[in-house]
Structure 1
Amino acid sequence: MHYKCHVTVGYPEITVTEPKTQYNSTVTVSPAGVILNNYRKSFLYYTDETWSSEGPERFFSGQLGALGQVTLGICMDINPYKFVAPWEDYEFANTALSNDSPLVCVSMAWLCHLTPEELMLDPSKADIATVAYWVERFQPLVEKAKETPVYVILANRCGMEKTVCYAGSTTVLKIEAGGVSLYETLGKSEEKCLVVDLNERPKFQVRAR
């Protein structure tokens, strides 16, 4: 059965050539099973720095098979570099903007500040503070929005690993001249496949221009 799916999967990469190097990476595969891109995380979180090197290229923005122009990132990439770069640099968002990408995909293992008890309370409810922060990190796309929309997919890990709590709240956004809309958001502890039809009208207006 052929589902016409492009799949992006995160994994820890170890290069096969010397000197061997480790990266926090994603690989994107076409519906035909062809590897279209292997992206290596540019901006490392402090836990990444214990085992991973920075990717040699800052983010990926280019043609990705039948998807067309796409900008790819991993989690910390949307933040200021090492949290020391100016907040208003918006390095990742400006990369998507300068490359005129209509599709932005970010694979995430984003933490939250909730306790384990809070995380499990009403698990189908999104962590709104996290979603609001993500929207803010795409401010350049909002300010320069055109009639042609930009779709932003933020796919986040949910649940717990030992004492670490993940924010879940996987989200699909639409940014256009009218503002920022939200198609749907999963709950903070809701583990499921989020399916969105981009041809439909988003459910919620997040921010009007």
Structure 2
Amino acid sequence: MKIACLQFNPIIGEVQTNQRRASEMLEKYQPGEIDILVLPEMAFTGYVFKDKEHIMPYLEDAETGTTVRWAKEQALRLQAFVMVGYPQIVKGDPDKYYNSVCFVGRNGNLIETYQKTHLFSTDESWAEEGPGFKSIHVPGLGKVGFGICMDLNSYKFQTEFTAFEFARFHLRQQSDIILCSMAWLLTESSSNNVDYWCYRLLPLFNDTYTNDEESTAGIQSLDATRNRNVLFVASNRTGSENGDVYS
């Protein structure tokens, strides 16, 4: 399986410019050269918005928004699955905004919209919490789970650090692939961030964190689950924005 993470530094508010740049970065790839393409969180809008009024001009509908259209075009051209992050407004409920990703199939069909469950402080100024983590069956891929950045962390940094809500969910769901769009801040080094992401996924591969009833509820064969290979893909943005530096 060939997976591409398209990572770049979007200019905040310059959606069309950012989309053109992403398209140019992908021009060298031909159909069949990529199986799954993952872009960062809020890939074309930038990430730091101070309130609902600030982000309002950039909100997109899940079916017809500019990000979803771009994803469909690239999916068709590359014959690949494509996931991209964007700020979502919901038809019929225009007062609720979400930090979301679209997941599009090889034939350009929208397979899933996932809304971020664990909000970072930057999100809380404008976004609602999503209804919960997701993992769905996708023909040709198996069980695919979705995440957005802060989802890997404990809820609001307030729940028990070793609750591992995200990882335990995907253990129970027996996800084969977990795709995450990121706008993860730089710590000491990028390698430190990767180490931390691995730590947040410990229940998927370390028995110490799966020997409890909550983690294993609904799993018929825990031994088989522990021996499964789970593919984790994180596509993080780069650069800086409003004083924040990304890994």
2: distance between equivalents of 1:14 and 1:27? 13
Give the 5 Å matches for 1:21-170.
21-56=96-131, 58-113=132-187, 127-144=190-207, 146-167=226-247
Partner residue of 1:20?
A: 95
Amino acid at match of 1:103: I
Asked whether the equivalents of residues 13 and 25 of structure 1 are also in contact (C-alpha less than 8 Å), the reply is yes
Q: Secondary structure at the match of 2:78?
A: coil
Instruction: Give the alignment's TM-score, normalised by structure 1.
Output: 0.70
Asked whether the equivalents of residues 183 and 246 of structure 2 are also in contact (C-alpha less than 8 Å), the reply is yes
Amino acid at match of 2:122: T
Report deviation, 1:133: 0.6
Report deviation, 1:139: 0.6
Q: How many residues align?
A: 155
Q: Secondary structure at the match of 1:95?
A: helix
Partner residue of 1:186?
A: none
Asked whether the equivalents of residues 80 and 105 of structure 2 are also in contact (C-alpha less than 8 Å), the reply is yes
Q: In structure 1, list runs of 5 or more residues that go unmatched.
A: 115-125, 168-209
Report deviation, 1:71: 1.0
Asked whether the equivalents of residues 30 and 65 of structure 1 are also in contact (C-alpha less than 8 Å), the reply is no
2: distance between equivalents of 1:135 and 1:165? 21
Q: In structure 2, list runs of 5 or more residues that go unmatched.
A: 1-30, 32-76, 208-224
Report deviation, 1:4: 2.5
Asked whether the equivalents of residues 37 and 64 of structure 1 are also in contact (C-alpha less than 8 Å), the reply is no
Amino acid at match of 2:103: T
Q: Secondary structure at the match of 1:53?
A: coil
2: distance between equivalents of 1:18 and 1:139? 37
Point out the structure with the larger helix share: 2
2: distance between equivalents of 1:3 and 1:19? 33
1: distance between equivalents of 2:202 and 2:98? 28
RMSD over aligned CA atoms reads 1.6
Instruction: Give the alignment's TM-score, normalised by structure 2.
Output: 0.59
Report deviation, 1:65: 4.0
Q: Which has the higher contact order (CA 8 A, sep 6+)?
A: 2
2: distance between equivalents of 1:26 and 1:69? 17
Asked whether the equivalents of residues 187 and 193 of structure 2 are also in contact (C-alpha less than 8 Å), the reply is no
1:130-152 deviation line (CA, Å, top 9, x unaligned): 11111100010121474431111
